[in-house]
Amino acid sequence: MTHETRNDISDERLEAMLAELEIEKAPASLTQRLNRIPEEHRRRGWKWPWQWSLAPAPRWAMAPAFAAVPLIVLAVFLFQDRGPSESEVEQARHDLAVAFAYMDRVGLRTGAEIQGVLGAELRQTVKQPLVEHLLVNETSRKEETS
């Protein structure tokens, strides 16, 4: 039994054969599925009004935008023209009165301590040289009279 190998398909013949292979028609079920896509995905892709403005932004723009949010909030908080309320003023007055009263008492006590320490020192400073002077004078007078 002999086998004969035939390998005589030219490029042109092959291309012609391939071109003759028909493009299959998509089944009707697929066409229906494809035509339903806009309706199904529009409904599923519904967004809240605040998402409308964010939706078309590219992803790279979202990170800086989100990072800027706390900065904006902080800036608004710091720079807003906001006067103190009445209760806040009253509280501040009370705190200030307490602080002054404390400072007054501390001042008096410190003054008394300074007076006590410096008074003794000053007395000693004046008394010591005077006593020494008097003692010297008394000694010299005794020597002169003797």
Applying CB under 8 A, the residues found at the interface with other proteins are: 1, 3-7, 9, 11, 14-15, 17-27, 29-31, 33-35, 37-39, 41-42, 45, 56
The CB-of-36 to other proteins minimum distance in angstroms stands at: 9
The CB-of-41 to other proteins minimum distance in angstroms stands at: 6
How far, in Å, CA of 56 to CA of 36, rounded?
A: 24
How far, in Å, CA of 50 to CA of 27, rounded?
A: 41
Q: Reduced to 3 states, what is the DSSP secondary structure of residue 130?
A: helix
Please, which residue, 27 or 129, has the CB nearer to other proteins? 27
How far, in Å, CA of 117 to CA of 111, rounded?
A: 10
The CB-of-83 to other proteins minimum distance in angstroms stands at: 50
Please, which residue, 17 or 73, has the CB nearer to other proteins? 17
Please, which residue, 41 or 142, has the CB nearer to other proteins? 41
Closest alpha carbon to 20 in 32, 29, 28, 12: 12
